[in-house]
C-alpha cells in the first residue's frame, strides 16, 4: 500500500491541468485494474468501474489542489509511520485504501467505483457521471480523508458561490474624477454588506475581489466572489435572496449578481444508518468506535446525499493538514481503513 501511495503521489494532478490529469488517470486506472481485475470505463480523466447494477457506490477523486512543480520542493517522504507529500492525504491514500479494500472481497457484484478528476473544483464535469452511478444504490461510501483522529464525516455544509459585478463609469483620476462612478468604492460598500450576511454556523465570506484597469483611471468595473457554507437549506435561500436584493450606494452604479448553490448540504440523517453499520463493522474487526462529526468542507457526498442515497463520508485516510503544506498520512492506519471499507460493503450488500 505504501508503494502504491508513492506511485500516485509521484504523479502531480492539479484539477485545472488537463495534461497532468490525463497522466494521473492512466496511473490510477492501472492501479485499479491490477487490484480489481477489470479496466475502468474512461470518461476523459474520470474513471468508472461497474460490476452490474449499482448496490454500493464507492467514490473518490485523483485531482489535488497542488500545482505542477510542488513535488520538486516537497517530494513524497516517509518518516516512520508517517508519509507526506502533495495530495497524499487528500486523497491519494484514500484511493489506495479503496482499491486494496475492494480487492479483498470475494465478489464485486453491485459495486460501482467512481474516481473523478474535478472534485476539488466542484465536480462540474463529472456531476452527470455521479448522478448516473449512484442511481439505484443502497449506499454511497465516500473515501475522502477522515476527520481528526479517524472520525467519519456524518454531515457536511453545503456550498454556495456567487459573483457580484459592479458597473461604474470611467474618468481620469487626476483631471475629472468627479465625472466618474467609482466601481471600486461601490464594491467596498457591497463587500461590507455581503460580509454581514453570515450568522450562526452559516458563513458568508467575500473571497476574490478585483477592480480597475489602470492606476490613473476611476474604475468602471469591479467584481467580488462570495463563498457561502451552511447546514440549513433555508439559509441558502435567505442568503441568495439577500444577494439579489443588493442595491447600489453610489448614484450611477449598477450591480449584477450571478451564481447559486454548487453543493447542497449533506444532513446528518443521510449518514445515520450507515454510521451505525460502520460501528458494527469496526467492532467485528476489533477496531475502536468511530465518532462522527459535521464539517464545513463539502465533497461528492453532498451530491449523492442530495439524490436521496444514504451516504457516509470520511472513510479515507487518517492523517491531517489537508490542502496545507505538510499534509500527511498515518501509514499504519491504512490496512485497517481498507478492511473497514470492505466489511461495510459486505454488510450493506447482505442487508
- Choosing from 4, 12, 63, 313, the catalytic residue is 63
| Three-class DSSP category at 202 | strand
Q: Left, alpha or beta for 117 (phi > 0: left; psi -120 to 50: alpha)?
A: alpha
Q: Report DSSP letters for 141-185, one per residue.
A: EE-PPPSGGG-EEEEE-EEEEEEEEEE-B-EETTT-GGGSB-HHH
- Choosing from 118, 119, 120, 235, the catalytic residue is 119
Rg of the chain (C-alpha set): 23
Q: Do residues 115 and 44 touch, judged by C-beta distance below 8 A? A: no
Q: Do residues 130 and 304 touch, judged by C-beta distance below 8 A? A: yes
Copy the grid coordinates of residue 285.
474487526
The DSSP bridge partners found for residue 167 are 221, 254
Is 240 an active-site residue? no
**Edge-to-edge strands, sheet with 46-49:** 41-43, 46-49, 111-116, 56-61, 139-142, 311-312
Among residues 272, 316, 323, the alpha carbon closest in space to that of 296 is found at: 323
| Positions marked catalytic | 63, 119
Amino acid at each position: 500500500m505504501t508503494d502504491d501511495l508513492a506511485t500516485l503521489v509521484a504523479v502531480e494532478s492539479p484539477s485545472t491541468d488537463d495534461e497532468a490529469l490525463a497522466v494521473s488517470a492512466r496511473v490510477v486506472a492501472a492501479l485499479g485494474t491490477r487490484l480489481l481485475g477489470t479496466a475502468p470505463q474512461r470518461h476523459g480523466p474520470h474513471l468508472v468501474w461497474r460490476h452490474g447494477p449499482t448496490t454500493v457506490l464507492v467514490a473518490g477523486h485523483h485531482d489535488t489542489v497542488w500545482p505542477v512543480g510542488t513535488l520538486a520542493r516537497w517530494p513524497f517522504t516517509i518518516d516512520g509511520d508517517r508519509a507526506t507529500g502533495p495530495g497524499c492525504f487528500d486523497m491519494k491514500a484514500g484511493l489506495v485504501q479503496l482499491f486494496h479494500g475492494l480487492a479483498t472481497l470475494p465478489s464485486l457484484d453491485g459495486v460501482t467505483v467512481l474516481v473523478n478528476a474535478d472534485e476539488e473544483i466542484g465536480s462540474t464535469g463529472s456531476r452527470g457521471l455521479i448522478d448516473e452511478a449512484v442511481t439505484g444504490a443502497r449506499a454511497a461510501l465516500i473515501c475522502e480523508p477522515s476527520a481528526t483522529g479517524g472520525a467519519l464525516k456524518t454531515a457536511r455544509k453545503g456550498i454556495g458561490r456567487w459573483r457580484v459585478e459592479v458597473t461604474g463609469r470611467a474618468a481620469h483620476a487626476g483631471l475629472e474624477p468627479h465625472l466618474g462612478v467609482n466601481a471600486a468604492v461601490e464594491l467596498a460598500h457591497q463587500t461590507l454588506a455581503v460580509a454581514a450576511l453570515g450568522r450562526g454556523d452559516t458563513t458568508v465570506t467575500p473571497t476574490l475581489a478585483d477592480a480597475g484597469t489602470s492606476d490613473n483611471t476611476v474604475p468602471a468595473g469591479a467584481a467580488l466572489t462570495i463563498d457561502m457554507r451552511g447546514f440549513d437549506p433555508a439559509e441558502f435561500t435567505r442568503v441568495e435572496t439577500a444577494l439579489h436584493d443588493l442595491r447600489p450606494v453610489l448614484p450611477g452604479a449598477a450591480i449584477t449578481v450571478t451564481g447559486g448553490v454548487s453543493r447542497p448540504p449533506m444532513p446528518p440523517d443521510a449518514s445515520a444508518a450507515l454510521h451505525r453499520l460502520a460501528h458494527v463493522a469496526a467492532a467485528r474487526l476489533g477496531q475502536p468506535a468511530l465518532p462522527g462529526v459535521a464539517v464545513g468542507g463539502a465533497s461528492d457526498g453532498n451530491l449523492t446525499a442530495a439524490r436521496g442515497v444514504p451516504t457516509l463520508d470520511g472513510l479515507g485516510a487518517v492523517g491531517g493538514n489537508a490542502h496545507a503544506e505538510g499534509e500527511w498520512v498515518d501509514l499504519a492506519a491504512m490496512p485497517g481503513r481498507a478492511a473497514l471499507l470492505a466489511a461495510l460493503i459486505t454488510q450493506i450488500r447482505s442487508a
